[in-house]
Amino acid sequence: MSDVRQSASPASSSPSSDRVAPRRTGGFDLGHILLEGRAFFALIAIIVIFAMLSPVYFSTANFLTMSSHVAIFGLLSIGMLLVILTGGIDLSVGSTMGLAGVMAGFLMQGVSVDAFGVTLYPPVWAVVVLTCVLGAFVGMINGVLVSIFRVPAFVATLGTLYVARGAALLMTDGLTYNNLSGNPELGNTGFDWLGFNRLFNVPVGVLIFAAVAIVCMFALNRTPFGRWVYATGGNARAAELSGVPVKRVQIWVYVLSGVCAAIAGLVLSSQLTSAGPTAGTTYELTAIAGVVIGGAALTGGRGNVRGTLLGAFVIGFLSDGLVIIGVSSYWQTVFMGAVIVLAVLLNSIQYKPRKKRTASTENQKASSPSGPA
């Protein structure tokens, strides 16, 4: 009868105190590199393949044209990245962009002040500033809804998507502003400079995109705000207990996303030299796709500007390439969808297994400081 009622606890079991868990070393396998730099390799592959399929694809002129397309939703993607890093999502950017374009068009037509019987023609810089303020305002509504009233980001920004689009349609009665060039006599010319013109032979829209990207890189890598964004998305509770103003950070990322959308709206309406109320429809989805292809996690805390730029270029160069080689637009849509799903699939491979994750974040962190270079 086994009735021994105690286990002689081995007295020699010395407490195995903190030992650093064995770390995986030598992560230089090819699969790992491919996974890490997947957006980059995808972009190279896209360029190589289309260069072989079409003689016009691989040329400076074409790259600049494609880049000016990329600039539009690339701007949206950068704003979106900030929001997604905090664990949110901003579905309203496409509509905000359309509303911003309409706002700019409206201001360019002149604002008649009935009380004084005069019509004010604000100069272009004032149009730009006012439009950005409008974008910031829309973003602030999103931010306040999400952070203070705790409305799920998806729902809050879905609502703003409709409201902003409706406002744009109301402002123009569904019509499009066609004349944005201004009048020299009124001193409001120069709107076409924003997207239509070129500086050093580079479309100004691309330069604006680059400037916003660089500012954003700096903000994320080198400012307390950037650290707060990552911390809020990584673990909002821990961030809050560490003194991070989580609510303020949440409001700010939506404001910045709104401003980015307004800038995109300005660039687009300048490129098109017209402002329509339906501009930018479904662009929010392209913007999200760019962020996701760039390796950011929709759960927040992971991602960077470099990746998002690559993601935006992958989408832009792929869709323009498909146009150039004459693939039907229906097939383009199918391709686009497949690329997005593949990207998310790879993201989950990168982030899911615990062991792999620690190894990969180390690499990411180690390389990210060199971002703004």
Write out the residues near other proteins by the rule CB under 8 A. 1, 3-7, 9-10, 13, 15-21, 23, 218, 222-224, 227-228, 230-231, 233-235, 237-245, 297, 300-302, 354, 357-359, 361-362, 365-366, 369
Cα–Cα distance, 216 to 305 (Å, whole number)? 7
Amino acid found at 144: V
Burial status of residue 36 (CB atoms within 10 A of its CB: 0-12, 13-18, 19 or more): middle
**Do 112 and 66 meet the contact criterion of CB atoms below 8 Å apart?**
no
Distance in Å, CB of 334 to other proteins, minimum: 33
Where on the phi/psi map is residue 234: left (φ > 0), alpha (ψ -120 to 50), or beta?
alpha
127 bridge partner residues: none
In degrees, to the nearest 5, what angle opens at C-alpha 212 toward C-alphas 242 and 289?
80
Q: Nearer Cβ to other proteins, position 119 or 242?
A: 242
Distance in Å, CB of 148 to other proteins, minimum: 14
Q: Nearer Cβ to other proteins, position 190 or 372?
A: 372
Distance in Å, CB of 160 to other proteins, minimum: 27
Distance in Å, CB of 263 to other proteins, minimum: 20
Q: Nearer Cβ to other proteins, position 198 or 247?
A: 247
Distance in Å, CB of 314 to other proteins, minimum: 23
Cα–Cα distance, 234 to 229 (Å, whole number)? 9
Total Cβ atoms within 10 A of residue 23: 9
Q: Nearer Cβ to other proteins, position 244 or 318?
A: 244
Distance in Å, CB of 365 to other proteins, minimum: 5
Cα–Cα distance, 246 to 234 (Å, whole number)? 11
Q: Nearer Cβ to other proteins, position 161 or 297?
A: 297
Distances (CA, A) of 46 to 292, 320, 337: 18, 11, 16
Q: Residue 224: which residues within 8 A CB-CB, separation 6 or more? A: none
Q: Nearer Cβ to other proteins, position 19 or 115?
A: 19
Q: Kindly provide the b/e burial profile for residues 82-115, where b requires at least 16 CB atoms within 10 angstroms of the residue's own CB.
A: bbbbbbbbbbbbbbbbbbbbbbbbbbbbbeeeee
Distance in Å, CB of 24 to other proteins, minimum: 9
Q: Nearer Cβ to other proteins, position 9 or 60?
A: 9
